[in-house]
Amino acid sequence: FTSNVDPFRNPDSEFSLNAKRGSRLVNENRHMEARKSKAAEIADNSETAIAAVVGQPNGVEQVASGRIGDSANSAPREPPPSFEQIQESRRGLPAYQVKSELLQIVRDNQVIVIIGETGSGKTTQVPQFLFENGFCKDGKMIGCTQPRRVAAMSVATRVAQEMNVELGEKVGYSIRFEDRTSRGTRVKFMTDGLLLRETLVDPLLDKYSCIIMDEAHERTLSTDILFGIFKDLLSRRRDLKLIITSATMDANRFSNFFGAAPQFTIPGRTFPVEVVYSRSPVSDYVESAITQASKIHLATPITSGDVLIFMTGKEDIEATCSGLRSRLSEVQLRRTKENMNDHAESIEILPIYSALPADIQGKIFHKTLGKRKVVVATNIAETSLTVDGIRYVIDCGYSKLKVYSPQIGLDSLRMAPISLASANQRSGRAGRTGPGIAYRLYTEDTAYDDMYTQAIPEIQRTNLSNTLLLLKSLGVRDPLKFPFIDPPNEVTALFSLFELWAMGALDNLGNLTQLGTEMANFPLQPALSKMLLIASQNKCSEEVLTIVSMLSVPQVFHRPKAREEESDQARSRFFVPESDHLTLLNVYSQWKANQYSAKWCKRHFLQFKSLQRARDIRMQLCRSMERQGLYVESSGTDWSIVRKCICSAYAQQAAKIAGLSKYVHLKNGLELRLHPTSALHGAGDLPPYIVYHELLLTTKEYVNIVTAVDPLWLMEYEPLFYNFTRRSENDGDLDISDHKGDELDLCLKSWAIKRANLLQNMT
């Protein structure tokens, strides 16, 4: 993660200079002085201001369940805009003003790069312009890709509303495992990953007259691969238009990649945003964000504007929402006691992250009368979604990143500082409807020293096995020669190819094997596809289908605040002591036995929505298996065969016990711990060998979703990799047939260790 990012660290680049010089003001503005003092006031006197209102301990307990601004609140919402009002606001968008020029440049060119401020109407308007101007005659579709599922769904909903049609008919969306399109769909929003998979079945993308690759600056893995695919595809489909939209400075790179494609800038309006840095490093950004948001809310009139807080993920978003709620309850309680009128509780706090159900996500676009809106979001609100009326931004300065270390061959989720480009983008959200203020919960030095100018594209920081498998099945012989806009790290690519080979997806010449071909047919990560295929051979695919589906949905166990103990107990009743995978299977089977009941879920602290989704995914995967002629059978009550299939799929992710509660990774010697929620804790002694689903990197390395395995199985599936050693000198020659699995000591074969060391030396 360090070696391949240096090119981005150019302290002399425009962004860094801006960050340093313009740190106080993103845009110079004559009227700034007056507001500056206001901002400084909110930021600087805050400690005293807040201490004065919430510093008293009395009454805190009584408001623990305060539900300020909860969704259950009954305050009247502004009525939804009428069709006429929507058309009126459409006409006011910057994109609308340049409609005919834009259409002309699209007619004249095959590839166009559109640049425009967030909120100028790129996503919602451009597809409609094309639709209205004959791009769907002959029954072809306009496809619009989004880097995120949430954005695809939300934007499709909005466009359907603007076009006055039912979602799923003329306008629809398609994301993995969820298709809201029909035969009549002409404008289709989808994730970039989904379009990439469509190229597998329809290499010429014949159904489309135009593809809009929205938010291309996000540089997701799928976007980058699609770029490479389009390079060739566009010459074979001269009638296909490609529109790339970008909010930042990457436009030139995109243009150059497609042979000097013309750029079209939508003139935007933005207002100046004052940037306020934290004076000293912040130790707890959730706490700090809560304090800052309460200060803003208490010190300014509600009408002065809404607040947008950037956090890294579900956990800190939820913590911020509930923390802010109780903080303001305390204030309200105190002020009521002192007979002071106050607007502390006139607030609506709304989380937004991708795992959130769609109906709750939609709430961020509604306005409740007489209340200030506080949206707490992941970086989805950076450019993908525009919430109108934001005047204050609070930025924690971090985001969650999936990072791959080729040295140890592991993918992990890490918290990393955002880039300066992201920081500026986040701040900019405060200046859409008027001048705004952005509070950065980090110091100016941090911004200068720790942040890269631009984010590192995903292709240069993640495991590529999934992508390489896809490229192989698209017929790309040498994936290292693929036309990447930014090539992946070569060591990572080699390691990922090696991983595919080790899994049996590639043969010694690097060609797809039968197994590899079949694996690529599932929209799943390689280990899960393999698990399904092995299960089908072993007549337990009914069970493994359930497990794979349960692994494809957000958390199924519900752990509400203040009822942790109770919910932990409920969870432990589902435990299958040797496996978290089987625990998930158990949950699903019992839910099924209870007629898929929502009430039953509630009673057992399970997330009904997640289970429902798992059921839906299961149905789709099942159909996909049947289409491929694979058997779907049940092993009945024999779950050890299921465990064996799990073992075969994760044989590269195995660990053996090393001490009381520790494991070591068999391949790289990394010290691992079981996640505290694992069912294996309930079994007394920990099992000597395990395989795991994912690795989480927090302060320690945790393995999440684990299954106990017999080392003989590992030997059986990976004889090339694993070896038994003698426990002591007196053991004599080792005869495996004399031993039970847990008496044996399994280790990596020396050639595999050498290979790992070699790769380590190369990086």
Can you give the binding site for Mg ion, defined by CB under 5 A? 122-123
Which listed option, ligand CDP, Mg ion, none, makes contact with residue 586 (CB within 5 to 8 Å by class)?
A: none
CB–CB of 143/195 below 8 Å?
A: yes
Minimal CA–CA distance to 722: which of 741, 740, 703, 745?
745
Element (H, E) at 245: strand 241-246
Choose among 270, 310, 271: nearest CA to 116: 270
- If the CB atoms of residues 174 and 538 are measured against ligand CDP, the closer one turns out to be 174
Q: Identify the helix (H) or strand (E) that includes residue 391.
A: strand 390-395
Taking CB under 6 A as the rule, does residue 93 contact ligand CDP? yes
Binding-site member from 158, 371, 391, 693 for ligand CDP (CB under 6 A): 158
CA distance 424 to 327: 29
Q: Answer yes or no whether residue 431 interacts with ligand CDP by CB under 6 A.
A: no
Residue 693: which of ligand CDP, Mg ion, none does it interact with, CB under 5 to 8 A by kind? none
CB of 246 to Mg ion, least distance (A): 10
Q: Which does 120 bind (CB under 5 to 8 A by kind): ligand CDP, Mg ion, none?
A: ligand CDP
Which residues touch 594 (CB under 8 Å, ≥6 apart)?
A: 600
Torsion, Cα 513 518 519 524, to 10 degrees, reads: 160
Contact between 746 and 689 under an 8 Å Cβ cutoff? The reply is yes
Nearer to Mg ion, 122 or 530 (CB): 122
In angstroms, the CA 240 to CA 210 distance is 6
String marking each residue 383-402 x if it binds ligand CDP according to CB under 6 A: ---x-x--------------
Residue 521 touches ligand CDP, criterion: CB under 6 A: no
Bridge-based pairing of strands 187-191 and 208-213 is unpaired
Q: Record the tokens describing residue 718, joined without a space.
A: 């990976």
From candidates 66, 119, 143, 305, binder to ligand CDP by CB under 6 A: 119
- Phi then psi for residue 369, to 5 deg, are -60, 135
In angstroms, what is the minimal distance from the CB of 145 to Mg ion?
11
Taking the C-alpha atoms of residue 614 and residue 550, their distance in angstroms, rounded to an integer, is 5
Nearer to Mg ion, 250 or 274 (CB): 250
Residue 121 vs 409, nearer CB to ligand CDP: 121
- Site membership for ligand CDP, residue 123 (CB under 6 A): yes
Q: Which is nearer to ligand CDP, 392 or 501 (CB)?
A: 392
Measured at the alpha carbon of residue 404, what is the angle toward residues 398 and 406, in degrees to the nearest 5? 145
Handedness of CA 47, 53, 56, 58 (dihedral sign): negative
Enter the tokens of residue 202. 């329809």
Q: Select 350 or 625, whichever has its Cβ closest to ligand CDP.
A: 350
State which residue, 166 or 626, has the beta carbon closest to ligand CDP: 166
**Is residue 248 near ligand CDP by the rule CB under 6 A?**
no
613 makes contact with ligand CDP (CB under 6 A): no
Contact between 1 and ligand CDP by CB under 6 A: the answer reads no
Dihedral sign of CA atoms 462, 465, 468, 469 in order: negative
Binding window for ligand CDP (CB under 6 A); candidates: 50-58, 117-125, 251-259, 445-453:
117-125
Nearest distance, CB of residue 374 and ligand CDP, angstroms: 17
121 sits near ligand CDP (criterion: CB under 6 A): yes
The smaller minimum CB distance to Mg ion, of residues 122 and 188, is found at 122
Non-local (6+) Cβ contacts of 258 within 8 A are 111, 113, 230, 231, 234, 242, 244
433 binds ligand CDP (CB under 6 A): no
Instruction: State the number of binding residues for ligand CDP (CB under 6 A).
Output: 16
User: What is the contact surface with ligand CDP in residues (CB under 6 A)?
Assistant: 93, 116, 118-125, 154-155, 158, 365, 386, 388
